[in-house]
């Protein structure tokens, strides 16, 4: 029997089945990032080993199961859904899933459906993504130098990605470039990448490298480029104005007055952004990670497959949200990689 629940201070009565997802620190969880596959057609050096062992396909949730889980989250108040991988667009029949999620946009329950991609498949899928209701995409791109791009992605080809960006913009998708800041690799491209994004009317976000997976993380100290240093370098060329804007993610934004473009900074190591965290991450195997920087997770695959009734799934989701921690443990300050996660980023979802 479900008893009524009075939302604190709102005067609104919810049933337990429709009450919003609130974590132990009174943060409303309304943003779900979903990894639909651990596979990728690149092997970026900070994300994957060159000879990755991928999960057996039988362990992955089917597209129908992903639909059920995401729909349950939407029914519980999730308003933003970001599809990730691996590379999400290499999953077979993935547009079936995007089209299914589009019905939640049409109903008004879902406010935004977005995707993070390496751009390799956008020439093929950009128009279909727009038709499914996607309006914004994030493209992971750490260099615009073709030789360096081949080096950091191992298998990637920059011209293919640039064609994908062309296709995305032609389709009407708003493009944001995500670049991982790597000392000794793309430091010299800070201004060129900024100018290139400005010339194409694309926003840009820089991300500090994070200790994820068994990729020789002690080397991350050599790669680590604090975004505070990056900001100071930008100030030598541009006038930076801090923006109060938040997009539901961890980025903090500035505007470059000379170009008008927006630059974001995601700084899990030099600034703990957890106080306003509103997101959780679902892996392609049905594990829900309440924090990117913690190993604690909650298995949703078992209740999903145990019953055709969604009540078990919703109970499991609520139980998981009650375990969401206050913050992560990433830390480079003591000259070692504290808080290193043993799982690869491609499994959790970028």
Which residues fall in the annotated binding site? Answer: 33, 40, 44, 46-47, 82, 86, 116, 140, 176, 210, 274, 277, 279-281, 291
C-alpha distances in Å from residue 234, one per residue of 178, 191, 313:
17, 7, 47
**Binding site listing for [4Fe-4S] cluster:** 40, 44, 47, 274, 277, 291
Q: Which residues contact 307 (CB under 8 A, 6 or more apart)?
A: none
Per the CB < 8 A criterion, the answer to whether 179 and 207 are in contact is yes
Annotated binding residues for S-adenosyl-L-methionine:
46, 86, 140, 210
Closest CA to 71 of 346, 320, 317, 321: 317
User: Cα separation of 208 and 337, whole Å?
Assistant: 13
**Structure-block tokens of residue 47:** 């994300």
With beta carbons less than 8 A apart as the criterion, state whether 41 and 89 touch.
Answer: no
What is the spatial distance between Cα 188 and Cα 143, in angstroms, rounded to a whole number?
A: 10
> What count of other Cβ atoms lies within 10 Å of the Cβ of residue 264?
22
C-alpha distance from residue 342 to each of 39, 47, 338, 348 (Å): 17, 12, 12, 11
How many Å apart are CA 297 and CA 309, to the nearest integer? 22
Crossing angle of helices 94-107 and 63-75, rounded to 10° = 20
- CA dist 184 and 151 (Å) reads 13
In angstroms, the CA 274 to CA 291 distance is 9
In contact, 245 and 216? CB cutoff 8 Å: no
Sign of CA dihedral 220, 225, 228, 229: positive
- Lookup: tokens for 116: 């993070």
> Which residue positions form the known binding site for GTP?
33, 82, 116, 176, 279-281
């Amino acid at each position: 029997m479900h008893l009524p629940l009075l939302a604190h201070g709102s005067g609104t009565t919810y049933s337990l089945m429709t009450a919003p997802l609130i974590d132990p620190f009174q943060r409303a969880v309304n943003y779900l990032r979903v990894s639909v596959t651990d596979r990728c057609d690149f092997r970026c050096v900070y994300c994957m080993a060159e000879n990755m062992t991928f999960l057996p396909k039988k362990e992955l949730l089917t597209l129908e199961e992903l639909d059920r889980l995401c729909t349950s989250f939407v029914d519980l108040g999730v308003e933003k859904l970001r599809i990730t991988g691996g590379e999400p667009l290499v999953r077979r029949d993935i547009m079936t899933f995007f089209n299914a999620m589009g019905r939640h946009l049409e109903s008004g329950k879902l406010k935004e459906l977005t995707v993070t991609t390496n751009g390799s498949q956008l020439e093929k899928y950009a128009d279909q993504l727009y038709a499914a209701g996607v309006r914004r995409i994030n493209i992971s791109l750490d260099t615009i130098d073709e030789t360096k791009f081949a080096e950091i992605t191992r298998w990637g080809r920059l011209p293919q990605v640039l064609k994908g960006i062309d296709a995305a913009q032609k389709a009407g998708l708003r493009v944001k470039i995500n670049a991982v800041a790597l000392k000794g690799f793309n430091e010299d491209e800070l201004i060129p990448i900024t100018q290139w994004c400005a010339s194409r009317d694309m926003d840009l976000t820089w991300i500090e490298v994070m200790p994820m997976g068994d990729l020789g993380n002690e080397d991350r100290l050599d790669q680590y480029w604090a975004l505070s240093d990056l900001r100071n370098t930008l100030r030598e060329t541009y006038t930076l104005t801090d923006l109060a804007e938040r997009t539901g993610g961890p980025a903090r934004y500035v505007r470059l007055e000379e170009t008008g473009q927006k630059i974001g900074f995601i700084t899990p190591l030099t600034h703990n952004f957890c106080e306003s965290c509103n997101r959780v991450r679902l892996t392609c195997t049905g594990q829900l990670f309440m924090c990117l920087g913690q190993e604690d997770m909650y298995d949703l695959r078992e209740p999903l497959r145990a019953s055709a009734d969604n009540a078990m799934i919703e109970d499991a989701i609520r139980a998981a949200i009650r375990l969401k921690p206050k913050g992560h443990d990433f830390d480079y300050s003591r000259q070692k990689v504290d808080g290193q996660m043993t799982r690869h980023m491609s499994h959790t979802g970028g």
